[in-house]
Amino acid sequence: MALKIYDTLRRDKVTFEPRDPKHVRMYVCGPTVYDYAHIGNARPVVVFDVLYRLLKHIYEPQGAKITYVRNITDVDDKIIAASKETGEPIDAITRRTTDAFHADMKALGVLEPDAEPKATEHIAEMIALVKELLAKGHAYEAPGDAKGHVLFSVSSMADYGRLSRLDREALVAGARVEVAPYKKDPADFVLWKPSTPEQPGWKSPWGRGRPGWHIECSAMSEKFLGKSFDIHGGGQDLIFPHHENEIAQSTCVRGKDAFAKYWMHNGYLMAEGEKMSKSLGNFYTVHDLLREFPGEVIRFLLLKTHYRQPLDFTKRGLVSARAELDRFYTAVRIAKQNAEPCDVDPPEEIVIELGDDLDTPMAIRRLHDIASDLNNATAPETKIDRKRVAELAGKLVAGGRLLGLIQQDPEEWRRWKPEGIDGLTNAEIESLIERRAAARKAKDFKRADHIRDELLKKGIVLEDSAGNTTWRRQ
């Protein structure tokens, strides 16, 4: 099938054609590890996880290899500032927050990338790239008191700004945080900067220092994907200056047609109708949300809006998302009482929707269509066709797999409990159900009803069918 994606560089939806049909390569900017990932950080991770799944589905059967690289930025001024504020050593901060990021993304059902390079482990590659930029006249060393700084010379690149399409005034405004008297041009950006004794630093031809943010991704993407690869992804906020500067660094050394062939960016995220802010009380970290909702609910809500559109993330939306997932899991659970779901390929209609620039809202609509057919096939008044039930349930699970959804056991899904909520444990619930079953067997229906009512008061719903009792939390 033809995969269509929206290419930010061309400002158009185009047919994806990998540089090498036997090796599809994608790079996505990962987190800066100084604090827990917030929901805005999670959006690109989930979006490009779906793209990774889709690329594997399309190209692996053709014998192609898929390589997905997502980096970790573990040297950055934000990390230094966090260490200074809290007194926690930098390496402890980056180790702790990297582990938290991995745990949070796993809870969201995100597949591990094929490589996850850390910036601190690739300083040599960054220094080498800076040296090449200097040799080709695209960079310069700052003089006098600013010695130790190496900057990219924007004026050395005729088409600088072609990704963001900003005018000269906007380019300078976008670089305002790095404007300094030692720059030849206000838009020039830092490739290497000196470090004070208490800051992390590495030996270099320009003295002890550390890399600028932009050079990190240029060096790491080349290390793991080569000088030219297929897709570079990230959030819309990275178009300028980060991705613009990556293009400048890499193409000035490797040639205009080098680096990424396609650029994909997810839209901005708001929370409760406003920009996320701790002062407004709408700053949601994945870590905190996972105490209230299953990770799959968070993932589902992120996918209900097309990735290029703005997303307003709300607690009410999470409640609605959970209800939709309940519908899918209930359909599978009832189906499994009649037949085990078939192991089938994802439905073509879902592959087609995702192949149209990752149209996850339409793909989810197709899942609802399949769930409706499955519910009709297992309705009480319907004569059960076990083969059809198995096929429909298999399609629902397989279609969900492409989206990273509906992969849990339905019973486990129903029994999930928010963290920190007082209540019965699973073992205690099962024990009470056994006591109720014994009471019913002894025809002590008053006792059986009392147990059922007490469980309901504590948010546990019992469902009896065919001599079997299942339960779920409200």
**With bands split at pLDDT 50, 70 and 90, how would you rate the model's confidence at 455?**
confident
**With bands split at pLDDT 50, 70 and 90, how would you rate the model's confidence at 6?**
very high
3-state secondary structure of 7: strand
What does the pLDDT read at residue 196?
95
What does the pLDDT read at residue 446?
86
Lowest mean pLDDT among 65-79, 89-103, 159-173, 187-201: 159-173
pLDDT digits (tens, 9 = 90+) for 387-419: 999 999 999 999 999 999 999 999 999 888 887
What does the pLDDT read at residue 419?
72
What does the pLDDT read at residue 374?
96
Q: Where in the chain is the domain with CATH 1.20.120.640?
A: 313-414
**Average pLDDT of span 180-201:** 93
Lowest mean pLDDT among 33-37, 154-158, 174-178: 174-178
CB of 36 closer than 8 Å to CB of 100: yes
State if pTM tops 0.85: yes
Please choose, from the candidates 156, 207, 146, the residue with its C-alpha nearest in 3D space to the C-alpha of residue 181.
146
pLDDT digits (tens, 9 = 90+) for 300-334: 999 999 999 999 999 999 999 999 999 999 999 99
Say yes or no to pLDDT of 177 above 60.
Answer: no
Which among 155-169, 214-228, 264-278 has the top mean pLDDT? 214-228
CB of 19 closer than 8 Å to CB of 228: yes
Angstrom distance (rounded) from CA 227 to CA 259: 6
The CATH number of domain 4-266, selected from 3.10.20.600, 3.40.50.620, 3.40.50.720, 3.40.50.10470: 3.40.50.620
Please choose, from the candidates 324, 292, 313, the residue with its C-alpha nearest in 3D space to the C-alpha of residue 405.
324
**Average pLDDT of span 160-179:** 74
**With bands split at pLDDT 50, 70 and 90, how would you rate the model's confidence at 251?**
very high
Say yes or no to pLDDT of 234 above 90.
Answer: yes
What does the pLDDT read at residue 23?
98
Q: How many CB atoms lie within 10 A of CB 258?
A: 17
The residue type found at 437 is A
Give the DSSP letter of residue 423. -
What does the pLDDT read at residue 178?
59
**Average pLDDT of span 336-362:** 97
Give one word for 259, left, alpha or beta, with left for phi > 0 and alpha for psi -120 to 50: left
DSSP element (H, E) containing 129: helix 123-135
Give the DSSP letter of residue 49. H
Helix axes 123-135, 213-225, angle to 10 degrees: 100
Angstrom distance (rounded) from CA 348 to CA 350: 5
Helix axes 315-336, 295-303, angle to 10 degrees: 110
Please choose, from the candidates 289, 295, 379, the residue with its C-alpha nearest in 3D space to the C-alpha of residue 330.
379
Q: Which residue has the higher pLDDT, 426 or 28?
A: 28
Say yes or no to pLDDT of 140 above 70.
Answer: yes
Q: Are strands 12-15 and 4-7 parallel, antiparallel or unpaired?
A: antiparallel
**With bands split at pLDDT 50, 70 and 90, how would you rate the model's confidence at 428?**
confident
**With bands split at pLDDT 50, 70 and 90, how would you rate the model's confidence at 450?**
confident
The residue type found at 423 is G
Please choose, from the candidates 439, 433, 434, the residue with its C-alpha nearest in 3D space to the C-alpha of residue 471.
433
Q: Where in the chain is the domain with CATH 3.40.50.620?
A: 4-266
Query: Topology of domain 313-414, per CATH?
Result: Four Helix Bundle (Hemerythrin (Met), subunit A) (1.20.120)
Percent of the chain whose pLDDT exceeds 70: 95
Give the DSSP letter of residue 254. H
Angstrom distance (rounded) from CA 247 to CA 259: 7
**Average pLDDT of span 226-247:** 97
